[in-house]
Amino acid sequence: MIQDYLDGLSRELDFDRSLARCVRQEVEDHLWEAVAADPAGNLLEAQRRAVANFGDARVIAAQFAVLSLARQSRRAGVAAVLVVAGIFIAMKARVAWYAATQWAISDDLRAVGGLVGMVDRYAFLLAAIVGLAGWLYIRSREIPAALHPAYRRQLHRFFVLCCTAAAALAVSVVSDAVLTALNLRGTELSAASVVPIISMTIEIACVGMLVFHIYGIAQRAASAAALMKT
């Protein structure tokens, strides 16, 4: 009976495998302790009472789902700041490499490069401001015991901030890619091209990491909402 209860609890928390394993172990220990302390001699009856006293698995899973959602949101806030920092470092490294190797955009493309560079700067600035604001906002929110309407609104605001930061970063990275292509235009691939290419790869990976965290928020929010309906 205890194993069936634990299996059901694990299924409800399947959206967060790490949390499911930890919760299952803790609940299992508690239930078997309750069975051991039960004065009745019937093992099956003791298990039934232990499970009944512990509570409905879906209700317990809902409480942990909110905790998982809150933690994922805070991780996403930190990720947004780290991603912005990582992209900034990659950008500066690439610019320094261009200066060291004396690579520059050809005269006939300088106007295009200037326009793309302006878009790049403003998009990155927007991403940095919004990303920092999102991190400060979510870390100042208290983690509730339930997914109440006020916390839903807070999460929605944070989600919008994260999506805005990710979109701005995507524009910045695309602009960086265009500028990199303009700088490399007319040159043969060589060892000197490695730094710009690697830096662009890092930028793309950083944006991908932020998108992954945002997806995690959406997934956990949907799971928590589904559990709260019952």
Number of H helices and E strands in the chain, helices first, is: 7, 0
Residue 217 lies inside a defined structural domain of this protein: yes
Distances (CA, A) of 68 to 24, 71, 74, 79: 15, 5, 10, 16
- Cα–Cα distance measured from residue 184 to residue 106, given in angstroms and rounded to the nearest whole number: 10
Residue 172 is predicted with a pLDDT of 96
Enter the tokens of residue 159.
Answer: 């989600």
Considering only residues 3 and 136, tell me which one the structure prediction assigns the higher pLDDT.
136
Residue 227 is predicted with a pLDDT of 77
Residue 210 lies inside a defined structural domain of this protein: yes
**How confident is the model over 164-193, as a mean pLDDT?**
84
Residue 133 is predicted with a pLDDT of 96
Do both 125 and 178 map to the same domain? yes
Residue-number span of the structural domain to which 48 is assigned: 2-55
Count Cα atoms within 13 angstroms, Cβ side, for 66. Answer: 17
Residue 61 lies inside a defined structural domain of this protein: no
Do both 150 and 217 map to the same domain? yes
Do both 11 and 124 map to the same domain? no
Do both 133 and 164 map to the same domain? yes
Do both 107 and 220 map to the same domain? yes
Residue 177 lies inside a defined structural domain of this protein: yes
Residue 173 is predicted with a pLDDT of 95
Distances (CA, A) of 158 to 57, 103, 151, 152: 29, 41, 10, 10
Do both 27 and 102 map to the same domain? no
Angle at 9 between CA 54 and CA 73, to 5 degrees: 105
- Cα–Cα distance measured from residue 15 to residue 221, given in angstroms and rounded to the nearest whole number: 10
Which of 12, 30, 55 terminates a domain? The answer is 55
Q: Is the pLDDT of residue 230 over 60?
A: no
Considering only residues 91 and 20, tell me which one the structure prediction assigns the higher pLDDT.
91
Number of domains observed in the structure of the chain: 2
Residue 182 is predicted with a pLDDT of 83
Residue 218 lies inside a defined structural domain of this protein: yes
Residue 79 lies inside a defined structural domain of this protein: yes
Which of 18, 33, 55 terminates a domain? The answer is 55
Do both 118 and 94 map to the same domain? yes
Do both 122 and 221 map to the same domain? yes
Do both 129 and 215 map to the same domain? yes
217 and 159 Cβ atoms separated by less than 8 Å:
yes
- Cα–Cα distance measured from residue 203 to residue 162, given in angstroms and rounded to the nearest whole number: 17
Residue 66 is predicted with a pLDDT of 86
68 and 220 Cβ atoms separated by less than 8 Å:
yes
Do both 111 and 16 map to the same domain? no
pLDDT digits (tens, 9 = 90+) for 101-145: 777 777 777 788 889 989 999 999 999 999 999 999 999 988 887
Residue 60 lies inside a defined structural domain of this protein: no
Residue 140 lies inside a defined structural domain of this protein: yes
pLDDT digits (tens, 9 = 90+) for 63-81: 888 888 998 999 999 999 9
Which of 55, 75, 90 terminates a domain? The answer is 55
Residue 60: which residues within 8 A CB-CB, separation 6 or more? 9, 23, 27, 54
Do both 84 and 156 map to the same domain? yes
Enter the tokens of residue 138.
Answer: 């979510």
Do both 102 and 201 map to the same domain? yes
Q: Is the pLDDT of residue 89 over 70?
A: yes
pLDDT digits (tens, 9 = 90+) for 204-223: 999 999 999 999 999 888 88
Closest CA to 73 of 23, 165, 15, 139: 139
State the Cα torsion 117-122-123-124 to the nearest 10°: 90
DSSP letter, residue 41: S
Q: Is residue 189 packed enough to be buried (19+ CB in 10 Å), middle (13-18) or exposed (0-12)?
A: exposed
